[in-house]
A and B are shown apart, each in its own frame.
Chain A
């Protein structure tokens, strides 16, 4: 088990810089998730840790060893790919044991390691099948098994569940969480799915355009995002963003018929007349509060346990409201949506959080 340290890590292809200086500490045994929209560089960063992409500048340490120029096979890592990357002509057993042959391990040792991994992943009945005879979830388990047999210090997962259907994805997500508990190994996991990130991670690294936007525990990112991007990316459904203008100790909302909401308590109150973005999570409307917005409901989605209402005011922008008593809501209905002003987040013009 090793931790990782990234210091000023950069990657460019010619003149195009795709990773723009990443500093990151990963503790031994930690489950870290890189999350971000496609093209943000999260997979590239993972591949640089794996040694599949060269590091243009900066230092990568796994444990205490600088690994920049070390061959992928000597970094103490194992990787699980989105496409599974199984050897199609080999059986499950051969797939898992293949690489061990080149690590000069004796045959009975290989058999023992494969059997052990098969037991952990419940693959025993499938050991003599070929990948083409397996379902997507089974293939992914074999790919994980192939990583396990090497007893790596660090597991790397590159969007491992993206090719699975929704139901299987939830199931495999729990499998991965269980695996982390059982093996207690450092895991770096790349996904664009924020639900996967929230449910699996000890620490989430939110990336955008080659830059780390924020690092922290799932709830820290949810409760206390540093900027507009993180606030919008973490949480489902998305946080509502309303344009506002600071007026006294209130915020005026021009797109909502100049309604006024109270300004929460801030350490550094913004200047009068400043343009701000007001962030309200849909679920803030569940709990009620002193602040009120008058809205007209357009669409209601019933999920059973909760309902989402999409509402706006006088041609303004559409807001998402989560509601416990949403079954009573009707399209066209006018409501006074209440929320706690203390839960409202303010962002300045550059998108930085105002605290």
Chain B
């Protein structure tokens, strides 16, 4: 152990070096986390709150709006994340083909959405999918439909618009990970498979996909966390409507805290539901992806 004077001086130096970061982390991360955990056991409105034990957790089970938000978030998660992952994989595979022309252009075009501002693109989507928006006009001109769809007024179509939006925004982000991973695979592995008569689909399914497994796991976890925290798009495109059909957990927390009569304790409880979901889902994904033979 560091009993000598030099050892102690080194220890002190070490702590001094990380002290500024530790103080900041403590004030802006650890303290709020602990405070919100304590808050989640408080009931009351505004600044009038008192310790309520498990009252907030019981309230969760009886709160139809919370159940609604949880269901919506679940729908977005189950529908959107797989679509996006598969789409990103297909784009990456296509862009990794050296015979594709204008690869640089397509790569940029697919990646570009994820450098746009969340609010800006949300507002754009909102205007595009308005009843008199570009999408309806175009579809009518092309005679794809007889009457305009009330995209943002219909619970089903509103969800579709949200899923379209986040897929547009985040597919390129995931694709870049896959593309980078694919470019790291030794080309002669594919050549060996080609010579040995392994068909193209099998090369993708049995060689590319297994070799991308760590990256797919990573992007799935990141996308899951992102979708559980979905806020900007719903807040800007639908405001959670119509009739809470696109309300997400994050938006509900925001509403509980800032829109309605503030209910900090209950909002903190809902936040911890997200924490719990992230933890459980990530654990499950790691479990599924675990190497069974190793």
Give the contacting residue for B198; candidates A77, A88, A98; CB below 8 A.
Answer: A98
Q: In the complex, which residues of chain B have a beta carbon less than 8 angstroms from the beta carbon of A314? A: none
Q: In the bound complex, do residue A51 and residue B195 qualify as a contact, i.e. CB atoms below 8 Å apart?
A: yes
Give the contacting residue for A99; candidates B188, B193, B210; CB below 8 A.
Answer: B193
Q: In this assembly, does B20 line the interface, its C-beta being within 8 Å of a C-beta of chain A? A: no
Q: In this assembly, does B194 line the interface, its C-beta being within 8 Å of a C-beta of chain A? A: yes
Q: B187: shortest Cβ distance to chain A, in Å?
A: 9
A85 with B188: in contact, given A98-B206, A102-B199, A102-B202 (CB under 8 Å)?
yes
Q: In this assembly, does B33 line the interface, its C-beta being within 8 Å of a C-beta of chain A? A: no
Q: In the bound complex, do residue A88 and residue B211 qualify as a contact, i.e. CB atoms below 8 Å apart?
A: yes
Which one of B197, B199, B206 has the highest number of Cβ atoms from chain A below 10 Å of its Cβ?
A: B197
Which one of B189, B196, B199 has the highest number of Cβ atoms from chain A below 10 Å of its Cβ?
A: B196
Q: Which of B183-211 contact A (CB under 8 A)?
A: 186, 188-189, 191-199, 202, 206-207, 210-211
Q: In the bound complex, do residue B196 and residue A73 qualify as a contact, i.e. CB atoms below 8 Å apart?
A: yes
A83–B188 Cα distance when bound, in Å, is 7
A89 with B193: in contact, given A81-B188, A83-B186 (CB under 8 Å)?
no
Q: In this assembly, does A312 line the interface, its C-beta being within 8 Å of a C-beta of chain B? A: no
Task: Count how many chain B residues have C-beta atoms less than 8 Å from C-beta atoms of the other chain.
Answer: 19
Q: In the complex, which residues of chain A have a beta carbon less than 8 angstroms from the beta carbon of B202? A: 102
Q: In the bound complex, do residue B186 and residue A85 qualify as a contact, i.e. CB atoms below 8 Å apart?
A: yes
A87–B186 Cα distance when bound, in Å, is 10
Mask: chain A, 74-99; 1 = CB below 8 Å from B; 0 = not: 10011101110111110100000011
Mask: chain A, 43-55; 1 = CB below 8 Å from B; 0 = not: 0000000111000
Q: Which of B133-190 contact A (CB under 8 A)?
A: 186, 188-189
Q: In the bound complex, do residue A72 and residue B198 qualify as a contact, i.e. CB atoms below 8 Å apart?
A: no
Mask: chain B, 196-234; 1 = CB below 8 Å from A; 0 = not: 111100100011001101000000000000000000000
User: Per DSSP, are chain A's interface residues mostly helix, strand or loop, or mixed?
Assistant: loop
Q: In the bound complex, do residue B186 and residue A72 qualify as a contact, i.e. CB atoms below 8 Å apart?
A: no
Q: In this assembly, does A103 line the interface, its C-beta being within 8 Å of a C-beta of chain B? A: yes
Q: In the complex, which residues of chain A have a beta carbon less than 8 angstroms from the beta carbon of B207? A: 87
Give the contacting residue for A81; candidates B191, B197, B199; CB below 8 A.
Answer: B191
Give the contacting residue for B191; candidates A52, A98, A102, A143; CB below 8 A.
Answer: A52
Q: In the bound complex, do residue A50 and residue B195 qualify as a contact, i.e. CB atoms below 8 Å apart?
A: yes
Q: In the complex, which residues of chain B have a beta carbon less than 8 angstroms from the beta carbon of A51? A: 195
Q: In the bound complex, do residue B194 and residue A73 qualify as a contact, i.e. CB atoms below 8 Å apart?
A: yes
Q: B249: shortest Cβ distance to chain A, in Å?
A: 37
Q: In the bound complex, do residue A85 and residue B189 qualify as a contact, i.e. CB atoms below 8 Å apart?
A: yes
Q: In the bound complex, do residue B189 and residue A78 qualify as a contact, i.e. CB atoms below 8 Å apart?
A: no
Q: In this assembly, does A150 line the interface, its C-beta being within 8 Å of a C-beta of chain B? A: yes
* Cβ-closest chain B residue relative to A89: B210
Q: In this assembly, does A146 line the interface, its C-beta being within 8 Å of a C-beta of chain B? A: yes
Q: B97: shortest Cβ distance to chain A, in Å?
A: 15
A91–B291 Cα distance when bound, in Å, is 13
Q: In the bound complex, do residue B188 and residue A150 qualify as a contact, i.e. CB atoms below 8 Å apart?
A: no
Mask: chain A, 228-271; 1 = CB below 8 Å from B; 0 = not: 00000000000000000000000000000000000000000000
Q: Which of B238-294 contact A (CB under 8 A)?
A: 293
Give the contacting residue for A73; candidates B188, B197, B211, B293; CB below 8 A.
Answer: B197
Q: In the complex, which residues of chain B have a beta carbon less than 8 angstroms from the beta carbon of A150? A: 196
Q: In the complex, which residues of chain A have a beta carbon less than 8 angstroms from the beta carbon of B191? A: 50, 52, 79, 81, 85
Q: In the bound complex, do residue A79 and residue B192 qualify as a contact, i.e. CB atoms below 8 Å apart?
A: yes
A79–B213 Cα distance when bound, in Å, is 27
Q: In the bound complex, do residue B195 and residue A73 qualify as a contact, i.e. CB atoms below 8 Å apart?
A: yes
Q: B47: shortest Cβ distance to chain A, in Å?
A: 57
A145–B235 Cα distance when bound, in Å, is 60
Mask: chain A, 120-163; 1 = CB below 8 Å from B; 0 = not: 00000000000000000000000100100010000000000000
* Cβ-closest chain B residue relative to A150: B196
Q: In the bound complex, do residue A87 and residue B189 qualify as a contact, i.e. CB atoms below 8 Å apart?
A: yes
Q: In the complex, which residues of chain A have a beta carbon less than 8 angstroms from the beta carbon of B196? A: 73, 78, 98-99, 102, 146, 150
Q: In the complex, which residues of chain B have a beta carbon less than 8 angstroms from the beta carbon of A103? A: 197
Q: A114: shortest Cβ distance to chain B, in Å?
A: 13
Q: In the complex, which residues of chain A have a beta carbon less than 8 angstroms from the beta carbon of B194? A: 52, 72-73
Q: In the bound complex, do residue A146 and residue B199 qualify as a contact, i.e. CB atoms below 8 Å apart?
A: no
Q: B280: shortest Cβ distance to chain A, in Å?
A: 27
A99 with B198: in contact, given A52-B191, A81-B191, A89-B211 (CB under 8 Å)?
yes
A79 with B197: in contact, given A85-B189, A88-B211, A89-B211 (CB under 8 Å)?
no
Q: In the complex, which residues of chain B have a beta carbon less than 8 angstroms from the beta carbon of A87? A: 189, 193, 206-207
Q: In the bound complex, do residue A85 and residue B211 qualify as a contact, i.e. CB atoms below 8 Å apart?
A: no
* Cβ-closest chain A residue relative to B291: A89
Which one of B188, B202, B206 has the highest number of Cβ atoms from chain A below 10 Å of its Cβ?
A: B188
Q: B41: shortest Cβ distance to chain A, in Å?
A: 47
Q: B183: shortest Cβ distance to chain A, in Å?
A: 15
Which positions in B face A, CB cutoff 8 Å?
Answer: 186, 188-189, 191-199, 202, 206-207, 210-211, 213, 293
| 8 nearest A-B pairs in the assembled complex, by CB-CB distance | A99-B196, A73-B197, A85-B188, A85-B192, A81-B188, A89-B210, A72-B195, A85-B189
Question: Given contacts A73-B195, A143-B192, could you give 11 more A-B pairs where the C-beta distance is less than 8 Å?
Answer: A52-B195, A73-B194, A78-B195, A78-B196, A83-B186, A83-B188, A86-B189, A89-B210, A89-B213, A99-B198, A102-B199
- Give 18 pairs: A residue, B residue, CB < 8 Å, sorted on A: A50-B195, A51-B195, A52-B195, A73-B194, A73-B196, A73-B197, A77-B195, A79-B192, A81-B191, A85-B186, A85-B189, A85-B191, A87-B193, A87-B206, A88-B211, A99-B198, A102-B196, A103-B197
